[in-house]
Amino acid sequence: MAEEKCFITGETHHSNELVKGGTIRKNLADFIREEHPDFNDHAHISQRALQEYRRKYLETIIQKEIYEADKVEREVVSAISRQEAETDPALKDDDPVAFGQRMADKVASFGGSWTFIISFAVVLFIWIGLNTVLLLNKGFDPYPYILLNLILSCIASLQAPVIMMSQNRQETKDRQRSEYDYKVNLKAELEIRLLHEKLDHLMIIQMQKIMEFQQMQMDYMEELAEKQKSNPSS
């Protein structure tokens, strides 16, 4: 029986204990070439060395699967952390605001409160009582209270534009908040799509790896069958 050397170990074996490089599956042959670039289809490798490389190849596949799963998990955590780190621009306090805008907000806030209504009613009663009761309607603003009407008209004419200024600022904040919500929703949708694509990609790769496992199991079974045929006595 002819004898030849194993390309990997350099040991001499019988021909029935050697496997030709051209009969090895391409993925496994490429894996062997990573350590032995000169390995080709005409080179021979012993069954023991081939089994060792099959074991290494399976370990490499399993490690890659674990790394890919960890990578997807890290990306999910990173996406969630980025989502939580973003701040609504309408709620930031570091934006420069003019003095007039701050005063408009305060005036609009005070003018729409019960404190303003009660205070204004108290001032009116004091004004009317002072001029009508205490000063016998001969005070600085007797009935029909022309000065009071003038003051009320001035307050109303000034209060309206101030309230409009505050409403305009609130509309700007609402528009910024709406744009922010839209961007956040769009970003979340894109990240979900990306994660779905990655999961689909991982599933396809896993199916390919499972097929490789099955093919390698078939190779083992074929080798065992060949050994049984060559050694029927065993």
Enumerate residues 6+ apart whose C-beta is below 8 A from 175.
none
122 confidence band (pLDDT: 50, 70, 90): very high
Structure tokens that stand for 50 in this block: 């081939």
Give pLDDT, residue 73. 58
* Mean pLDDT along residues 128-154: 83
Identify which has the larger pLDDT, 19 or 88: 19
* Mean pLDDT along residues 72-89: 56
Give pLDDT, residue 69. 59
Render pLDDT for 54-65 as a digit per residue (tens, 0 to 9): 778 777 877 776
Is 174 buried (19+), middle (13-18) or exposed (0-12) by CB count in 10 A?
exposed
Q: Quote the percentage of the chain above a pLDDT of 70.
A: 79
Task: Please answer whether residues 13 and 6 qualify as being in contact, where contact means their C-beta atoms are separated by less than 8 angstroms.
Answer: yes
* Mean pLDDT along residues 86-96: 52
Give pLDDT, residue 85. 47
The average confidence (pLDDT) of the chain is 76
Give pLDDT, residue 75. 61
